[in-house]
Structure 1
Amino acid sequence: MKKNFIYVVFLGLLAVFTLSLNSCGNQKADSDDTEVTDDSNNDSDDARAEDEDYYVSKDGKFKVKFPGTPEVSSQMVPTDAGEIEMFTYIYEKSATEAYMVAYGDYPSSLIDGSDPKELLEASRDGALETSKIDGNEDLKVNGFPAIRTRAIDVEQNFYYIYEVILAKNRLYQVMIVRDGDYPSDSVVADFIDDFVITMKKK
């Protein structure tokens, strides 16, 4: 496998995910309707917590146990609701294993009045549209609705543990990608199970 190939694959998933979510909305909205959930969109305050192994994103309002320091980037993704800024955090442990978190804030009018489960399912289906679904689990992450999926990209031989979470108007994606087999239960527990959303649920 080429170096950074998993990274490229993940960015491709993000693009499809965004378009699928947008198709779920029951109306268009101006980008100015986006709910403000952060003081800024700058991740300069991101840091690994001193007392634990958590990587803490203050602007992203999450913390997670990356195995190493992730590469942080952002890109503007066009949708019918306007451009959405997608933030990505990727740590490639090796050429065959990667850990990823992404989030984007969507216009409230796209989220309000929609069924959270339908939005999550559409997001999952878009991101994993070329993969074989092995199983799904409905769950809550810090009180927010989420779906966790096991899937296989048969052509690439990639195995995904993929979780998508709707927290107010913010959609998080948390994923482990591995070549050849699923990550162990302990690896999933350390990364995905320990993913924490730090924003308050009103």
Structure 2
Amino acid sequence: MRACLLLVTLFIAASVSATAAQAPQRPPLTNYDPNTWKPFISQEGSFEVAFPGTPAIITIPQDTPLGRLLIHVYVVRTTVAEFGISYIDIPAATAEPQFVKDFLDGGRDQMVRDGAVVISEKDMSLNGIKGRDLLVTVDGTIGHNRFFLIKGRLYSLSIATTPQTAFKSGKPSSTESERTDFYQTISGRFFGSFKITLADAVADAPQQTAGGAEEILAGVDGKTDLYPADADAKKEIGDAVSRAAVEHKRVLLIFGANWCYDCHVLDQALHDGEAGKIVSQDFLLIHVDIGEGERNADLVKTYKIPLDKGVPAVSILESNGRLLYSSGDGEFEAARRMLKKDLVQFLNKWKRLRS
């Protein structure tokens, strides 16, 4: 444990120094609208996140008591804030609750020793993965950090800004309320979009047990071509509506993209178990590719899908093509945390009643 706590010290120090050294080499971005941020996918890091631009990527070799390890840092600098994600694989780490607590406490304590003042701190979880939310201030800069430890890998998310820095349409805000609202918007987009895509990450999430814990949708081991590049979604929807009238079914549209892990989780659930039976009997399933947010924009608008709430997103059409439902609040965006019973209940609610 002592070696692991020392490693946290090295990890935080290296991540901060890399951010300071690398970010100024690029002109700061001026993308203030988080609704336009595009997903960034790291296959090597097994994570997805919405960044305001393409990150600078730094790999730092670090000699540690556990051997020579690599710290991976992703940084985007804007005139509003600096956004960063770092991760390191730690051979001796475990998922034991006390280990995770001590590990994250060590990270906080090191930040305090380095001059940080803790504003707020709370334990949290991401898809059952234990984590810590930590808000600190250092020399006038506010640092908002989140740490997650999963399967021997430590992730660190960070936003660095100042109390005076906030923008509205590219212009400095004049009130504290505006700055607070804007920060909540950008931090919500950044932190809320973060997903860990390790194939076995869901192993730490609640599963069905003899004690009665609820069962969530099963994770997937890999990604298939759910959204082919040459698919004509508009034609597929038209064909499905024609069939639905004959087969007395409704049309289930799933908006998403191949890069989206939760899209694959939801698709698997719609083909398995009780949910799969309902879909097979009562719906025609169509996938609508959003690409990086630019594809099928007309269908996104027609079927009232707010992409800023994330994907997968769902619309349901009557057999005559009339829109019955669209997921306006990101209800399916975190499909990996969705309960199987809730998905079944949703499908039963929206299937056609049979005489």
**Amino acid in structure 2 at the alignment position of 1:104:** I
- Cross-structure match for 1:158: 141
Displacement of 1:17 after TM fit? Answer: 4.7
Please give the alpha-carbon distance, in whole angstroms, between the structure 1 residues aligned to 2:120 and 2:10.
18
Structure 2: 5+ residue runs without aligned partners? 1-6, 14-36, 165-179, 204-355
Query: 2:101 aligned to 117, 135, 149, which one?
Result: 117
Residue segments in structure 1 that go unaligned for 5+ positions in a row: 1-13, 21-51
Please state whether the residue corresponding to 1:111 is helix, strand or coil: coil
- Aligned pair 1:191/2:190, yes or no? yes
Which stretch shows the higher mean deviation, 54-63 or 180-189?
Answer: 180-189
Cα shift at 1:148: 0.4
Q: Comparing both structures, which one devotes a greater share of its residues to helix? A: 2
> Residues of 1 paired with 2:60 and 2:76: CA distance?
17
Shift of 1:68: 0.7
Q: Which residue of 2 aligns with 1:76?
A: 61
Sort the Cα spacing of 1:149 and 1:19 in 2 relative to 1 into closer, same or farther, 3 A: closer
Instruction: Note the C-alpha offset of 1:161.
Output: 0.7
Corresponding residue SS for 1:184: helix
Query: Aligned ranges for residues 86-125 of structure 1 at < 5 Å?
Result: 86-94=71-79, 97-107=81-91, 109-111=92-94, 115-125=99-109
Indicate if the aligned counterparts of 2:8 and 2:103 stay in contact, CA closer than 8 A.
no
Asked if structure 2 preserves the Cα contact closer than 8 Å seen for 1:56 and 1:62, the reply is: yes
Q: Offset at 1:16?
A: 3.2
Q: Confirm or deny that 1:144 pairs with 2:129.
A: yes
Evaluate the alpha carbon distance shift between residue 112 and residue 164 of structure 1 in structure 2; reply closer, same or farther with a 3 A threshold.
closer
Displacement of 1:110 after TM fit?
A: 4.2
1:162–1:174 contact (8 Å) kept in structure 2: yes
Which is worse superposed, 96-105 or 119-128? 119-128
Taking the TM superposition and a 5 Å limit, the aligned residue runs for 1:29-44 are none
More divergent stretch after superposition (121-130 vs 166-175): 121-130
Alpha carbons of structure 1 residues 19 and 150: separation in structure 2 relative to 1, 3 Å: closer
> Is the contact made by 1:17 and 1:124 (CA closer than 8 Å) also made in structure 2?
no
Q: Which runs of 4+ in 1 moved over 4 A?
A: none
- Give the residue type in structure 2 aligned to 1:16: T
Q: Which has the larger radius of gyration?
A: 2
Structure 1 residues 105 and 180: CA distance shift in structure 2, 3 A: same
1:172 aligns with 2:171: no
For 1:67 and 1:188, locate their aligned partners in 2 and report how far apart those are by CA, in whole Å: 12
Q: Which amino acid aligns with 1:119?
A: F
Q: CA deviation at 1:168?
A: 1.1
Does structure 1 conserve the Cα–Cα contact (< 8 Å) formed by 2:82 and 2:159? Answer: yes
| Structure 2 CA distance for aligned equivalents of residues 148 and 141 of structure 1 | 11
Aligned mates of 1:120, 1:110 — CA distance in 2: 12
Residue 112 to residue 176, structure 1, CA distance change in 2 (3 Å): closer
For the 8 Å contact 1:86–1:104, the answer to whether it is kept is: yes
- Conserved? CA contact 2:8–2:106, under 8 Å: no
More off after superposition, 192-201 vs 175-184: 175-184
Q: Which moved more, 1:171-180 or 1:181-190?
A: 181-190
The letter of the residue matching 1:198 is T
Higher share of residues assigned strand: 1
Contact 2:95–2:151 (8 Å) recurs in 1? no
- DSSP 3-state at the match of 1:86: strand
- Asked if structure 2 preserves the Cα contact closer than 8 Å seen for 1:160 and 1:175, the reply is yes
Deviation at 1:124, TM superposition (A): 2.6
Contact persistence 1:17–1:127 (CA under 8 A): no
Equivalent position amino acid for 1:126 in 2:
Q
> How far off its partner does 1:80 sit?
0.7
CA RMSD between the two structures: 2.4
